[in-house]
Each structure stands twice: as C-alpha cells, then as structure tokens.
C-alpha cells in the first residue's frame, strides 16, 4: 500500500515537473552576439533584470545597470565582474520616481557619445503604498509608466545612433483589466485599499503598453523598434509589499506549490532575450512567441494621443529639446 502511494506521488511530481518544464523551461536559442554594443537595463539589481544582465554580459554586451540603491548596484556590479571577468559592466544611479534623476542619467549617457543598442525598461513596483513622488505623481504610476516615458524619449537620440536599436518594455497581464483612459485618480495618491492598489498597477501597465503602441507607430521605418514582453508570474522582489507573500511564514508555506506554477527569474528572462535578440520578435511577446493576447484597447488612437499629450505635459520641463 505504502509502496503504491509512494510510487503515485513520485509519478505525479514527475508529471507536474515535466509539464512545468514544457511551459516554463524553454530557452531563447538566439545566438546573436552583442559584443561591444551598449545595453541599458533598469531595475537590474535583482529578479528578471539581474538574470538578463548575466545572460547579456556573457554575450559581450557593454552593460549599463541601473537602480535607485547605489549600495545594491555596486554589489551586483562586483558580483557580475567576478562571475564574468570578460564582461564590460557599469552601474549607474537611476531613480524613476525622480524626473531630475532621469535627466541626469541621460545627460551622462549622452556625454559618452556612444550609440545605445537597447533599452530594457524592466524596473517596476506592485502593490506599493500610495504616495506622491517629488514630481507630484503616484509612485506606481511614475515608476511603471511616466518615468519610463521620460527616460525612453530622452534616450531616443542615442538609440537612433545605433544601426538596429530596440526598446523592450516589460508588461503584465494586469493591463488586460483596464478598459478606460484616463483614470486620473491613479495619477495621484488614491484611497488605499487592496482593490485600488491592484487597479493602479494594472492601469500603469496599460499606459505603458498604450505608449509602446504609439511609439512603435512613430518609429515605424526607422532603426528603432519597440517591443513589449509579458514575463508571466515570476518569483521576484516585486511582491515584497503583497501581504500573502510579504510574511515569511506564509511565503514558505506556499513554496512547494509556487515551485510548480511560478517562473524563476532566469526562465522569465528568456522572453526578454527573445525580444532583444530574435531577428523579428514581433510587438507583444509572451513565452518566447509573438502573441495578440493583449488588451485591444491599447490600439485606440484617441486613447494613445490623449496619453501622449498628457505625458508630455507632465514631463514638459525635461522634454524641452525633444519633439
């Protein structure tokens, strides 16, 4: 009896693991070299950003890793240089909740006079406490969208200097639950409750994809292409504010289940690598494949134009030299 029970458990675990590997274990097989090409990664101190950084450093890319914690950045830079001695890795401070920090970072990049091959907008927050940044916008809205908008537009001149440049924005399935723009209550501090925190996150990602669609049309027939990646549900620090996972005991109680249904950062990084390295990756990528499974409302030209105008107005003081 116990033998049969044990055998059943082993078989069940083996089947579950095989299914998991089939869906999550696929690797990007693109062999393109990035030797000497500059790639900027936001939110590179942990999770998907760090996993992507390791993969690109091994391909010879000149990496610029960014984050808002200089101590963490320095540790990651030292760790990667030790792990990949031949890697060309540089860490720079960048806080998406500060327009001034974004402008300062771009000024430093522009002074180097090097073309930038890729910008990977990976940094993001989820279920964050509602509070306004120094620029007067909710921290979720500015980190996940408005800061990315400003950073991307300011970096366009150096991206256009490269022969074939790419902008990769990390999306989320949460953007599918938004069907109205604008929702001005999520631009500023909102009433704090679980539902509003979820909606603020989804709204910020909706704006990001809406902006990506608009930008991809504006850059059509240029050397810069725009891509969105939905990495799926990934075991990263983005959940550190989420009550069911913030408590260590509850987190580890869920661990056996999460092992089978949640991606590891390296697994999620494969879709980002595909967007960056594949010859024609498509606009919206999920599971290493181009997909049309994104919110159809992001194709709304009226929404897109509204967002573009409002975003430029919000960042006007830092966009004086751009069109």
Average pLDDT of adjacent 10-residue blocks, the chain of 323 residues: 58 49 71 94 97 96 96 96 94 98 98 96 96 97 98 98 97 96 94 95 98 98 97 79 67 65 91 96 95 96 97 94 56
pLDDT value at residue 237: 75
229, 200 contact by CB (below 8 A) = no
The 3-state DSSP class for residue 285 equals strand
pLDDT value at residue 323: 54
What are φ and ψ of residue 163, in 5° steps? -65, -50
Omega cis (within 30) before 182? yes
Omega cis (within 30) before 279? no
Q: Which value, in Å, is the radius of gyration of the alpha carbons in the chain?
A: 20
C-alpha separations of 267 from 55, 64, 225, 231, 261 in Å: 12, 22, 24, 9, 12
pLDDT value at residue 12: 46
Number of Cα atoms under 13 Å in the Cβ half of residue 265: 17
Q: Which domains does the chain have, with CATH numbers?
A: 2-318 (3.40.50.720)
90, 114 contact by CB (below 8 A) = no
Strand segments (E) across the chain:
38-41, 62-67, 88-93, 116-121, 165-170, 224-230, 284-286, 289-290
pTM above 0.75, yes or no: yes
What are φ and ψ of residue 39, in 5° steps? -130, 125
Please give the structure tokens belonging to residue 72: 């963490």
* Pairwise CA distance, residues 209 & 186, whole Å: 16
* Pairwise CA distance, residues 302 & 98, whole Å: 28
* Pairwise CA distance, residues 285 & 262, whole Å: 18
What are φ and ψ of residue 314, in 5° steps? -65, -35
Number of Cα atoms under 13 Å in the Cβ half of residue 187: 12
Q: Which residues are part of the catalytic machinery?
A: 201
* Pairwise CA distance, residues 293 & 16, whole Å: 25
Q: How many residues does the chain have?
A: 323
Please give the structure tokens belonging to residue 47: 């999770």
- Of the candidates 118, 125, 116, 174, the one whose C-alpha atom is nearest the C-alpha of residue 145 is 125
* Pairwise CA distance, residues 311 & 141, whole Å: 11
């Amino acid at each position: 009896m116990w033998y049969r029970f044990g055998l059943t458990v082993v078989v069940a675990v083996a089947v579950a693991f095989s299914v998991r590997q089939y869906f999550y274990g696929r690797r990007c097989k693109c062999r393109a070299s990035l030797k000497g090409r500059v790639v900027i990664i936001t939110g590179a101190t942990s999770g998907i950003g760090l996993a992507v950084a390791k993969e690109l450093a091994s391909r010879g890319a000149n990496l610029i890793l960014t984050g808002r914690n200089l101590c963490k950045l320095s540790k990651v830079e030292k760790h990667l240089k030790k792990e990949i001695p031949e890697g060309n890795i540089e860490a720079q401070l960048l806080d998406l909740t500060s327009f001034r920090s974004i402008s300062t970072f771009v000024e430093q990049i522009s002074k180097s006079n090097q073309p930038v091959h890729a910008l990977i907008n990976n940094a993001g927050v989820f279920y964050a406490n509602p509070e306004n940044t120094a620029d007067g916008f909710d921290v979720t809205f500015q980190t996940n969208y408005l800061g990315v908008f400003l950073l991307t537009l300011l970096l366009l001149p150096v991206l256009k200097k490269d022969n074939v440049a790419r902008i990769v924005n990390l999306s989320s399935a949460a953007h599918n639950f938004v069907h109205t723009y604008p929702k001005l209550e999520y631009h500023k501090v909102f009433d704090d409750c679980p539902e509003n925190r979820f909606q603020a996150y989804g709204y910020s990602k909706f704006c990001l994809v809406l902006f990506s669609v608009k930008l991809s049309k504006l850059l059509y027939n240029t050397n810069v292409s725009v891509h969105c990646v939905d990495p799926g549900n990934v075991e990263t620090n983005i959940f550190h504010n989420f009550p069911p996972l913030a408590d260590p005991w509850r987190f580890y109680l869920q661990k056996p289940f999460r092992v089978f249904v949640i991606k590891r950062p390296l697994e999620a990084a494969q879709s980002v690598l595909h967007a960056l390295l594949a010859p024609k990756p498509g606009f919206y990528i999920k599971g290493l494949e181009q997909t049309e499974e994104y919110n159809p409302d992001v194709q709304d030209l009226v929404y897109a134009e509204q967002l573009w105008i409002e975003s430029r107005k919000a960042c006007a003081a830092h966009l004086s030299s751009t069109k």
